[in-house]
A and B are shown apart, each in its own frame.
Chain A
Amino acid sequence: MNTPMFKSGDKILILALAVIAAAFMIWNAMEADTTKNLTAVITQDSKLVEKIDLRSIDKPLYINLHEEGIHQTILAEKGRIRFLKSDCPNKTCVKTGWLTRSGTRAVCLPSRVSITMVGDNKQVDVLTY
């Protein structure tokens, strides 16, 4: 007897699984995009070097720095930023990789340059005032 590969009950099960999977993916996508504003704040030794609105830039932006005798390049793209090149000894800053979320930071201790991601993500439990 030539039985079909899936019975109708099986199809319903598969469909249900697909719906659950899709719901998960949509949920995750929404979670990731709760931050409307996203700004990278670059400082050197606590002084402001540059503020970049990462939502509004369209083409890659290269920022070259020469601080404390160290050459560095920072690359900003839409929604993300990183230390691209640095001739500091450990390259910890470059290894930090892309910053995409508010509240995260990449730091180069030798050059005292830091990139801090700032957004209006209000994910707090309780407010002190």
Chain B
Amino acid sequence: MKKAFYVLLILIILVSFAGCGLRKSQPVQVQEFALGTMINQQVYGANAQKAADEVSARIKTLDALWTINQPGGDINKLNRHAGQGYIKLQPETIDILTRARRISDLSGGTAFDITVAPLVKAWGIGTDHARIPSDEAIKRLVGLVDYRDVQVDQASGSASLARAGQMVDLGGIAKGYIGDLVRDIYKKNGVTSAFANLGGNVVVLGSKPDGNPWKVGIQNPRSQNGQIVGVVDVIDKAVVTSGDYQRYFIKNGKRYCHILNPKTGYPPDSGLMSVTIIAASSTDADGMSKAYVLGLDQGIELIRHYGKAEAIFITNDKKIYVTPGLNGKFHLEDASNEYTYVQIR
């Protein structure tokens, strides 16, 4: 009798262990370089491998289509054709140009403008020939920046740049836009739990396999080793950060970051180190994160105006401003003990 009881007990324990093992099914993990950055995927479920492969292929195709320096790519064609009327482009390109326009409209082009490319090229930040252009050069190039000069004709699937010398750079939106496509590919393959990290632009599908929200770490903008200042719990969201610490150069003690103010032509001196946007749309989150250019007050205003995003602003004086919708979802996890949490009301 007694023996039977113990045998039963052990069987129950073993079965419950096996149960744990089954629930924690191993994800497909992919790490690759594309879009000028590192791409990570972690995908769960029966079709995970197929979905991840499809995502990798799609990213490579769009990378070639949109990289500014890729001859034969759509953006390269559009730029070369500036001032010479409409040119036929791929449907995805027409779509991303349309979406970019809508996001620029939200801030009147003060935060986000894809025609900032001539300035980006002149500064060369993030390349090995970064430099401070002359004031005259910047003044001249700022005159070429106007997102309204990108005209799209939906009916014919073509677009134009109004004036010669104008250029489009999708660097501030492509990763976000692709993030939405990635999530669609996962869904199409029946995947219900996954994340993709496109060089810091994160999209998560569903929750973790155990039902908990994904924990997305917010990087300490002044840490060299991926140290975080906080964690945000998300389900089915995009989390995108823009900051002054990814690509920059320092000259005479001043930091020049790669995100430029489209209106002045200079890297912004906005009092912010980073802006993180949490939204359902990855495209919009990417565009909205350029609220970084505007500074705290106008940045908050832009997010409110948009109305479908939450945000985390980290200021130069190491305060972390968090929008009310993240209450209970954002957790300060600051090992440096230098940052202070501030709830935006």
Which residues on A are within 8 Å of B, measured CB to CB? 7, 9-10, 13-14, 16-17, 20, 37, 39, 41, 43, 46, 48, 51, 102-104, 116, 118-129
Contact = CB atoms under 8 A, between A and B. Distances in A.
Contacts of B204: 126
Nearest to B241: A128
A126 B195 contact: yes
A41 B202 CA distance: 29
Contacts, number: 104
Given A125-B208, A127-B217, A14 B197 contact: no
A9 B5 CA distance: 13
Contacts of B331: 102-104
Given A122-B333, A127-B202, A127-B226, 9 more contacts: A14-B6, A37-B335, A46-B319, A103-B332, A119-B333, A119-B335, A123-B215, A128-B201, A129-B219
Contacts of A120: 333, 335
A5 to B, nearest CB: 9
B116 interface: no
- SS class, residues of chain B in contact with chain A: strand
Nearest to B196: A126
Interface in B288-345: 319, 331-335, 337, 340-343
Interface residues of B, number: 43
B197 A46 contact: no
Contact of A118 (B226, B239, B337): B337
Contacts of B123: none
A16 B10 contact: yes
A125 B215 contact: yes
Contacts of A39: 337
Interface in B220-259: 226, 228, 231, 239-241, 243, 245-246
B40 interface: yes
Contact of A48 (B7, B9, B13, B340): B340
B3 A9 contact: yes
